[in-house]
Amino acid sequence: MFSKTERILAFRYLKSRKRTGFVSVIAGFSFLGIMLGVATLIIVMSVMNGFRAELMGRVLGLNGQMGVYPAWGAQLDDYENRMTALSGIDGVTAVVPVVDGQVMASAGDNSSGIMIRGMRAEDFESRPILKNKYAGLPMNEFADAQVIVGYRLARRLGVRVGDSVTLISPKGNITAFGTIPKMKRYTVIGTFDTAMFEYDDNFMFMPLEEAQHFFKTDGNVSHLEVFVSDMNRLDQVINVAFEKMGDRAQVYDWRYTNQAFFNAIEVERNVMFLILTLIIIVAAFNMISGLIMLVQDKAKDIAILRTMGMSRGGIQRVFLMSGLTVGVVGTLAGVVLGLAFSYNIDAIKTWLEGLSGQELFSAEIYFLSHLPAKVDLNEVIVVTVMSLILSLLATLYPSWKASRTDPVEALRYE
């Protein structure tokens, strides 16, 4: 497509010399703008993808893909028969009964409102996100007045394994003097670390039967968590569950219960993509101005080349290649920089925190205790192609302008 002469001229025009030094500086800024724009876009999209994937993994690691809740009232009755019916649905791998309730936890001079989750010991151990980061006594001791505490909550309350914590429930005993809150002391047998701030700082697990007794559920549960083997068949499983549960229970999937949260992440991700694309567009406009200045500076050279027999197409290809060189090299450099940063972003964050002495990624704000990144190769390809197309479009007008230069007018006063 490009002859040897055209390649030599294109690369020579990009070199910095005294008379064309400023033009080369503009080309250099165009290169940096495209490189940083592409790299920033890849990094931000990777972080947003990683953030969404990590949150989804944590949420689905602690909760089932779908839940069965009471249609009215606070408790789900006849839950054992419902578990049997749900377990018979094709694609359902586990059905877990859960009792949830809010209480006040107190230990020493520290107290805090927390969420209690009643669960069987085997169900706790069946979840890798809890079992893999569990630290404490064997799970066969998880019975009666025993609790497992999130490690951040344990640190906040100042308790360790073997210490006691007092739980105060507003659902107390009714007496002649009014309702007296129920209080009971429990022994901490272990801690867990899910790497998700909301759970580690606010959740405490209790044996299912003890939770039923503590919250006075009359043997019922708050809801059933249902785990399925194939997420692609989730809608089909939900339809069957609706039929089996009847009108006394409601069935919701994780998309419904977390809809607002994940929709907000998706909107933010799309907005960031549009905003950061402007960086590449600005760099493309910078490339246009640089090439127009180059064409004006090389007007005499263009006239001489035309009088020597070079065609308008040849002149156009020279400047087209000059602009594309900046765009292609800048795009490839941006892709390499973006991928290198994305794959090592957590290490870079740790290094920057050590250098600055400040926490750059607060778990209290971002829910996760580390900075995730997930590179989507399809998105990298889209960003790369978009940058190359913008670079090509940026070179069309200046190269066309160069090809329309009139040799007579250019050499009239030489």
**HSE, side-chain direction, 13 A CA sphere, residue 200:** 19
296's CB contacts (< 8 A; 6+ apart) are none
pTM of the complete model: 0.66
E-strand spans in 218-279? 223-228, 249-253
Place of tokens 């003890």: 210
Place of tokens 């450099």: 333
Residue pair 205/199 in contact by the 8 Å Cβ criterion: no
E-strand spans in 108-254? 110-119, 135-136, 146-150, 164-175, 178-192, 203-207, 223-228, 249-253
Q: Quote the tokens at residue 325.
A: 């060189």
Residue pair 27/292 in contact by the 8 Å Cβ criterion: no
Query: Alpha-carbon distance 20 to 170, whole Å?
Result: 79
- Tens of pLDDT, residue by residue over 168-195, are 887 766 665 566 778 899 999 999 988 7
* Amino acid 408: pLDDT: 63
Per-residue pLDDT of the chain (414 residues; tens, 9 = 90+): 666 776 677 767 666 555 555 556 777 778 888 888 899 889 888 888 887 777 777 777 778 888 888 887 778 888 888 899 998 888 888 899 999 999 999 998 888 999 999 999 888 888 888 888 898 888 877 888 899 999 999 999 999 998 999 998 877 666 655 667 788 999 999 999 887 788 888 999 999 999 998 888 888 999 999 988 887 888 888 888 888 887 778 888 877 777 776 777 778 778 888 888 888 888 788 778 777 777 777 777 777 777 777 777 877 788 888 888 888 888 999 999 999 988 888 788 777 777 777 766 665 555 555 677 888 888 899 889 988 898 888 888 888 887 777 666 666 655
Query: Alpha-carbon distance 170 to 287, whole Å?
Result: 67
16 secondary structure, DSSP code: -
192's CB contacts (< 8 A; 6+ apart) are 130, 133, 134, 135, 148, 149, 150, 151, 200, 205
Cβ-based neighbour number of residue 354 at 10 Å: 9
The torsion region of residue 199 among left (phi > 0), alpha (psi -120 to 50) and beta comes to: alpha
* Amino acid 186: pLDDT: 93
Distances (CA, A) of 45 to 42, 51, 227, 379: 5, 10, 30, 8
- Tens of pLDDT, residue by residue over 60-75, are 777 888 888 888 777 8
Q: Quote the tokens at residue 89.
A: 């649905």
Query: Alpha-carbon distance 364 to 398, whole Å?
Result: 51
Residue pair 363/156 in contact by the 8 Å Cβ criterion: no
* Amino acid 16: pLDDT: 52
Query: Alpha-carbon distance 412 to 414, whole Å?
Result: 6
Residue pair 157/107 in contact by the 8 Å Cβ criterion: yes
Q: Measure the N-to-C terminal CA separation of the chain; round to a whole number of Å.
A: 33
- The pair phi, psi for residue 230, each rounded to 5°, is -130, 115
Cβ-based neighbour number of residue 187 at 10 Å: 16
DSSP 347-379: HHHHHHHHHH-S-SS-HHHHSBSS------HHH
Please count the residues of the chain. 414
Query: Alpha-carbon distance 168 to 185, whole Å?
Result: 9
Query: Alpha-carbon distance 357 to 395, whole Å?
Result: 45
Tell me whether strands 110-119 and 178-192 are parallel, antiparallel or unpaired: unpaired
- Tens of pLDDT, residue by residue over 359-413, are 666 655 555 556 778 888 888 998 899 888 988 888 888 888 877 776 666 666 5
Distances (CA, A) of 235 to 249, 251, 253, 364: 17, 11, 9, 34
